[in-house]
Amino acid sequence: MSSELRILLAVAAVLAVLTLAAAVTLAVRLVRARRDLRRAGLPVENRWVFWAALGYLVLPVDLLPDPVFLDDIGVLLLALRSLRRKSAAVGG
């Protein structure tokens, strides 16, 4: 195997790990946001948004192949934004 190919594979592996870390971080933030809303007594009306986002993260069917977690990150960000918007509308 040539050194250029090894470098390319190493860079691809690092990028895959970084995007996976970002997706997991966003999933944790989503779970915490939902938990905080429930603890505060605010109704979490659209439960399907939460479960759909987590399901999309763990299911093998994606818009992009699994080593690229950009679509997962986008779905998690949209769900987190939706939950935050609900908490601001109800609480504020």
Question: Per residue in 31-57, pLDDT tens?
Answer: 887 787 777 765 666 677 777 887 887
Q: According to the model, what pLDDT value does residue 76 have?
A: 80
Tell me, rounded to whole angstroms, the distance of Cα 9 from its chain centroid.
25
Between residues 84 and 19, which one has the greater pLDDT? 19
Q: What is the mean pLDDT of residues 16-24?
A: 82
User: What global pTM score does this model have?
Assistant: 0.55
Mean pLDDT of the chain: 76
Closest alpha carbon to 33 in 71, 86, 92, 89: 86
